[in-house]
Amino acid sequence: MDDTGVPQAAIEQVPSAFDDADDARVLLDVREDDEWRAGHAPGARHIPMSDVPARMAEIPPDAELFVVCHAGGRSQRVAQYLARNGYRPVNVSGGMLAWAGAGRPVVTDDGGTGAV
């Protein structure tokens, strides 16, 4: 947990598989559209950081919620915002860099191999 009270998870503590149709466990990717298009975790949900306030209805309030960005900074700010609004988010330390660095899959929207 950081000094704001938002839990932090090292990549080893983050589930390795997500299903974007599953509201019980969500990997919320808050990177920009171009970053998402280059590559993302399979099953992640994409809501860019600047869109989160307007799109909060798309985030299940009772989900086991992991928030990820490129390296962990933006996701930390989004996680703090979500926590102030009644969610129980966990920030993914190291972001997609850590995800890819751990050898986890990175895909494009068409199912090809992506890059971070």
Question: What residues are labeled active site?
Answer: 69
Neighbours of 16 (CB within 10 A): 13
Q: How do residues 15-53 score in pLDDT, each as one tens digit?
A: 999 999 999 999 999 999 999 999 999 999 999 999 999
Domains of the chain (ranges; CATH) run 8-101 (3.40.250.10)
Q: Tell whether the torsion through CA atoms of 35, 41, 77 and 33 is positive or negative.
A: positive
pLDDT in tens, 58-84: 999 999 999 999 999 999 999 999 999
